[in-house]
Amino acid sequence: MNLKTQKRLAASILKVGENRVWINPKRNEEVSRAISRENIKDLIGQNIIKAKPQQGISSFRSKKLAEQKKKGKRKGRGSVKGAKFARHPKKKAWMTTIRALRRDLKSMREAEEIDPTTYRKLYRMAKGGAFRSKSYMKTYARDHNLLK
């Protein structure tokens, strides 16, 4: 039984696509006799023809993935995109190092472990990249008898 026309009319009336039109398979005879828009409207009123609910996109998988990433999973070499210094730029590494060194120098000056001249010398050296960490700077100061 060809219900193509009825389906098209119902889709137009219900303002949905033809794929979303549901026709009760037990009442096909009745539907095939409906040839006008009025007849189709009556069948819609009787719930013989309905619009199927709109299908959404399930967010289950994306939520699950986000949960895994929150735990720190799925971050192996295969998932890494971007170069080493795109993920952790050299500038950012330099900033963390130099800030730590300058903080340490300030505390040493305030505690009077070093005099202002030594402070200035070590400050300039740190700026020039002479020390890679606080411990290296302290070792340098100890080895060159710059601490009081």
Give the helix/strand (H/E) hosting 50. Answer: strand 49-51
Q: What is the pLDDT of residue 45?
A: 96
Query: Which structural domain, as residue segments, surrounds residue 29?
Result: 4-51
Structure tokens at 80: 């890494």
Residue 66 placed within a domain:
no
Residue 112 placed within a domain:
yes
User: 91 and 45 in one domain?
Assistant: no
The DSSP string of 57-122 is ---HHHHHHHHHHHTT-S-SGGG--S-HHHHS-HHHHHHHHHHHHHHHHHHHHHTTSS-HHHHHHH
User: 90 and 45 in one domain?
Assistant: no
Residue 8 placed within a domain:
yes
Residue 18 placed within a domain:
yes
CATH number at residue 99: 1.10.1200.60
What backbone phi and psi angles, to 5 degrees, belong to 69?
A: -65, -35
Number of domains forming the structure of the chain? 2
Q: How far is CA 41 from the centre of its chain?
A: 47
100 DSSP β-pair partners: none
Per-10-residue mean pLDDT of the chain, 148 residues long, equals: 93 96 95 94 96 95 96 92 92 97 97 96 97 96 94
Residue 63 placed within a domain:
no
The span from the CA of 99 to the CA of 138, in Å, is: 15
User: 138 and 90 in one domain?
Assistant: yes
Residue 135 placed within a domain:
yes
User: 90 and 43 in one domain?
Assistant: no
Residue 64 placed within a domain:
no
Residue 66's identity, in one-letter code, is A
Residue 56 placed within a domain:
no
Q: What is the pLDDT of residue 1?
A: 76
51 DSSP β-pair partners: 21
The span from the CA of 17 to the CA of 14, in Å, is: 9
CATH number at residue 45: 1.10.1650.10
